[in-house]
């Protein structure tokens, strides 16, 4: 059945759509932290948490909210009053930390970042954007254009002039040998130098922890230091929280909060699993920025009642069950276990992470050279052992990405770590 589906996939979809696994997987259902394939095999899902399913597969609270709302009404999300949208906007504005916050809902992270770029360029009357090296921001014309990770950016043609800033990756690049404080100072000096010979940019956009780029983060405090430099010049700071928002990093609700108490970004974008599988993206900005557009700007499906119902049910579950705390505790344990394994596997250069956003970087033993074949081997072996993980990384696809649903239990973390132990030893 799956083989037949693979043939049909190849016949009608673009060739550049990449699939995981030599024998591609067809997932047919899920429950909690597990999914099943078409042949009935069961897998522990250590990747779906950051893609779609933030909390748990087939979470009854979200399923109930979605089916009840779908049976009631789905209509224009913006032309008439929309109670679920207002309620979710109120809650998101409240947790945002942004004063006088307004929220605009979209259907994806790409569209959220596109909207943020539209707001920033209109507000500042500049089409120059600062972005981080190794970054990923989506696949629309403008989001692809500012994405620093060339493997994920199929065109350099873009409506925006983009300049790339150092700092998103701690372990590679010209400042990697410096200690944290000196690293931040060097990145700030580099940013100031760049601004000295550039037309005033509209904004800097950055992921607090780079997702597609391989779950890398700069030392805490970098973006607070950037914020000062930017704000002295009136330049906006956009935090792309598409992967890091809603407590995934464990210590904080937002990734930017790891960068000190200097204050929130000017614009925050979010998406991915916040509807626990229903497509929600969005932008948060203070009213002065959100209201700078001088024409109507609506999204037919952004904020639709059924996705908002999912978002509300998911957020309530997440807060009531302290899944941020769970991500911190269980993620911490998982990182510890993986570091124990890594010490015995020469291909592992680094195990890094925050909460349930964990990267295992593989290199050829004793070198800095990426080892994408080793990453593919581990992915296949983990699958054979009953575990799904992801991969990524800017220089080459050699970082294993681990991001389970945030309700992961200690027993499941131990089980996944044992499977990964065997998979890593098979390199």
Q: Judged by CB under 6 A, which stretch of 206-214, 218-226, 313-321, 324-332 contacts ligand PMP?
A: 206-214
From the list 323, 227, 314, the residue with the least C-alpha distance to 271 is: 314
Helix (H) or strand (E) holding 106: strand 101-106
Q: How far is the CB of 152 from ligand PMP (least distance, A)?
A: 8
Q: Of 263-302, which residues contact ligand PMP (CB under 6 A)?
A: 271, 281
Q: How far is the CB of 395 from ligand PMP (least distance, A)?
A: 17
**With b meaning 16 or more CB within 10 Å and e meaning fewer, what string describes 235-246?**
bbbbbbbbbbbb
Helix (H) or strand (E) holding 85: helix 83-96
Count, in order, helices (H) and strands (E) of the chain: 13, 15
Q: What is the DSSP letter of 19?
A: -
Tell whether residue 110 is a contact of ligand PMP (CB under 6 A).
Answer: yes
Q: How far is the CB of 143 from ligand PMP (least distance, A)?
A: 7
Strands of 207-315 (E only): list them.
236-240, 267-270, 281-286
Q: How far is the CB of 344 from ligand PMP (least distance, A)?
A: 31
Distances in Å between the alpha carbon of 12 and those of 19, 21, 26? Answer: 14, 19, 17
Q: How far is the CB of 261 from ligand PMP (least distance, A)?
A: 24
Helix (H) or strand (E) holding 307: helix 305-320
Alpha helices in 132-241 (DSSP H): 141-146, 180-196, 222-232
Q: Judged by CB under 6 A, which stretch of 68-76, 135-143, 186-194, 343-351 contacts ligand PMP?
A: 135-143
Nearer to ligand PMP, 138 or 214 (CB): 138
Q: How far is the CB of 243 from ligand PMP (least distance, A)?
A: 5
Nearer to ligand PMP, 137 or 383 (CB): 137
281-286 and 101-106 strand pairing? antiparallel
Selected from 115, 142, 217, 243, the binder of ligand PMP by CB under 6 A is 243
Applying CB under 6 A, what is the total number of residues that bind ligand PMP? Answer: 15
Selected from 32, 48, 109, 247, the binder of ligand PMP by CB under 6 A is 109
Per-residue string for binding with ligand PMP, 31-60, x by CB under 6 A?
Answer: ------------------------------
Give the three-class secondary structure for 203.
strand
Selected from 114, 207, 266, 412, the binder of ligand PMP by CB under 6 A is 207
203-206 and 128-132 strand pairing? parallel
The whole-angstrom separation of Cα 93 and Cα 287 is 11
Distances in Å between the alpha carbon of 252 and those of 244, 260, 323, 328? Answer: 9, 11, 11, 9
Tell whether residue 242 is a contact of ligand PMP (CB under 6 A).
Answer: yes
Q: Judged by CB under 6 A, which stretch of 166-174, 240-248, 345-353, 418-426 contacts ligand PMP?
A: 240-248
Q: How far is the CB of 134 from ligand PMP (least distance, A)?
A: 11
128-132 and 161-165 strand pairing? parallel
Classify residue 246 as left (phi > 0), alpha (psi -120 to 50) or beta: left
Selected from 43, 47, 136, 270, the binder of ligand PMP by CB under 6 A is 136
Q: How far is the CB of 396 from ligand PMP (least distance, A)?
A: 18
Nearer to ligand PMP, 51 or 224 (CB): 51
Tell whether residue 137 is a contact of ligand PMP (CB under 6 A).
Answer: yes
Largest CA distance in the chain: 62
Q: How far is the CB of 411 from ligand PMP (least distance, A)?
A: 29
Nearer to ligand PMP, 53 or 108 (CB): 108
Nearer to ligand PMP, 211 or 247 (CB): 211
Q: How far is the CB of 21 from ligand PMP (least distance, A)?
A: 19
What tokens does 143 get? 């989001």
Which residue number is nearest to ligand PMP in terms of Cβ? 109
The whole-angstrom separation of Cα 55 and Cα 6 is 29
Task: Judge whether 353 and 215 are in contact, CB under 8 Å.
Answer: yes
State the residues that interact with ligand PMP by CB under 6 A.
108-110, 113, 136-138, 207, 211-212, 240, 242-243, 271, 281
């Amino acid at each position: 059945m799956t083989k037949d589906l693979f043939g049909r996939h190849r016949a009608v979809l673009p060739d550049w759509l990449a699939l995981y696994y030599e024998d591609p997987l067809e997932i047919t259902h899920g429950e909690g932290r597990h999914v099943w394939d078409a042949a009935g095999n069961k897998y522990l899902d250590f990747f779906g948490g950051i893609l779609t399913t933030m909390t748990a597969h087939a979470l009854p609270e979200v399923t109930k909210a979605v089916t009840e709302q779908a049976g009631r009404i789905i209509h224009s999300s913006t032309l008439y009053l929309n109670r679920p949208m207002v309620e979710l906007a109120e809650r998101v504005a409240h947790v945002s930390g942004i004063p006088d916050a307004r929220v605009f809902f979209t259907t994806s992270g790409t569209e959220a970042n596109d909207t943020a770029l539209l707001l920033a360029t209109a507000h500042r009357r500049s089409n120059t954007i600062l972005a981080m090296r190794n970054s990923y921001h989506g696949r629309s014309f403008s989001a692809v254009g500012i994405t620093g990770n060339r493997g994920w950016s199929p065109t350099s043609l873009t409506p925006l002039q983009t300049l790339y800033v150092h700092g998103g990756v701690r372990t590679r690049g010209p400042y990697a040998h410096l200690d944290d404080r000196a690293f931040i100072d060097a990145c700030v000096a580099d940013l100031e130098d760049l601004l000295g010979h550039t037309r005033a940019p509209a904004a800097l956009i950055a992921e607090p922890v780079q997702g597609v780029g391989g779950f890398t983060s700069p030392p805490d405090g970098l973006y607070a230091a950037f914020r000062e430099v930017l704000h002295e010049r009136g330049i906006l700071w956009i935090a792309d929280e598409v992967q890091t928002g809603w407590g995934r990093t464990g210590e904080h609700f937002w990734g930017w909060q790891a960068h000190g108490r200097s204050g929130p970004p000017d614009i925050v974008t979010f998406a991915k699993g916040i509807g626990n599988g229903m497509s929600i993206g969005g932008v948060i900005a203070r009213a002065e920025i959100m209201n700078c557009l001088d024409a109507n700007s609506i999204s037919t499906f952004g904020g639709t009642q059924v996705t908002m119902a999912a978002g509300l049910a998911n957020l309530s579950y997440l807060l009531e069950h302290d899944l941020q705390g769970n991500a911190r505790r269980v993620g911490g344990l998982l990182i510890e276990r993986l570091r124990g394994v890594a010490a015995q596997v020469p291909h592992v250069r680094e195990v890094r992470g925050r909460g349930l956003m964990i990267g295992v970087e593989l290199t050829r033993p004793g070198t800095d050279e990426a080892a994408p074949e080793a990453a593919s081997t581990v992915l296949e072996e983990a699958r054979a052992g009953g575990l799904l993980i992801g991969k990524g990384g800017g220089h080459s696809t050699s970082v294993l990405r681990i991001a389970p649903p945030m309700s992961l239990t200690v027993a499941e973390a131990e089980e996944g770590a044992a499977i990964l132990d065997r998979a890593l030893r098979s390199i």
